[in-house]
Amino acid sequence: MARIAFIGLGNMGGGMAANLAKAGHEVVAFDLAEAALAKAEANGCTRAGSAAEAVANAEAVVTMLPAGKHVRQVYEASVIGTAPSSAILIDCSTIDVATAREEIGKAEAKGYQMVDAPVSGGIAAAEGGTLTFMVGGTDDAFERARPFLEQMGKAVIHAGGAGAGQAAKICNNMLLGASMVATCETFVMAQRLGLDPQTFFDIASKASGQCWSMTTYCPLPGVGPQTPADRGYEGGFAAALMLKDLRLAMEAAESVDAYTPMGAHAEELYTRFAESLGGGGKDFSAIIKMLDDSWHA
């Protein structure tokens, strides 16, 4: 069993750190928020007074932070040059590809092995240990990170070199955002054309229009399997987080001169829904209520 430093014990990191502790590791945890630290302690982690204290003597460092600027700050101030250079560094946050590559480059220059390992799956998957990890880094770094990731997830996939995990994550979520908008507008139109939504679901699920946003995550309550739509669009994947990922996707598209008109339009629509109309806290499928004019913030 290993001594693992875990930094960032929020909605996602809290459950992930608890699963590592449950697997028998010594998890030394740090977060800026007292409540998050107390919860981690109750879940079997040891509290550290700072990120630097957490990483001292660590064999692995796992971070789950909000955005690129937090990852840069934590790695540059408290991990690189502070953790033993034998520690494997694993950043699970969703951040921009450029920052991920930069931080891995800086870590490697100081003799560390590091991967970017963002996740698919929400808070329930983090708590249940059923996340999917998309990992970027060298073969050696991937093999060293894999056993720890396997204790927090159901699938661990090597996406390629440094930053490839982040690239896979934002490409996937750009497709998801665009397909959710397309699913929502289609159901609004189908109903206005007089189609029964369940009947249309049954037809499209077996026809060429079928996609995950419809068959697994239908944005209409009472149609298809149980989804956040059946719980008033609570829980699930917040529209604000979808917007965050679409913004990262647009930044990445620009950096490689990729023409992504559907992704760009999805970003515009989620900006309107999550920010202008105040829907950021709802599940991302709630955007159907903006498209059918039934959204009242």
3-state secondary structure labels for all residues of 84-102: CCCCEEEECCCCCHHHHHH
CA-nearest of 220, 250, 240 to 283 is 240
| Euclidean distance between CA atoms 133 and 246, whole angstroms | 19
Interatomic CA distance for residues 116 and 120, integer angstroms = 13
**Rounded to whole angstroms, how far apart are CA atoms 220 and 199?**
13
**How far is the first Cα of the chain from the last one, in angstroms, to the nearest whole number?**
49
Does residue 223 contact residue 268 with C-beta atoms inside 8 Å? Answer: no
Catalytic site residue 244? no
> Binding residue for ligand NAD (CB under 6 A) from 18, 40, 51, 188?
51
CB of 135 to ligand NAD, least distance (A): 14
Binding segment toward ligand NAD, per CB under 6 A, in 21-29, 66-74, 197-205, 269-277: 66-74
Shortest spacing between CB 18 and ligand NAD, in angstroms = 13
Q: Which among 9-17, 141-149, 159-167, 252-260 is the span making contact with ligand NAD, rule CB under 6 A?
A: 9-17
* Site for ligand NAD contains 64 (CB under 6 A): yes
Site string for ligand NAD, 148-187 (x = CB under 6 A): ----------------------------------------
Of all helices (H) and strands (E), which one includes residue 174?
helix 164-192
Residues at the contact surface with ligand NAD, assessed by CB under 6 A: 7-13, 30-33, 36, 51, 64-66, 70, 73-74, 93-94, 119, 122-123, 237, 241, 244
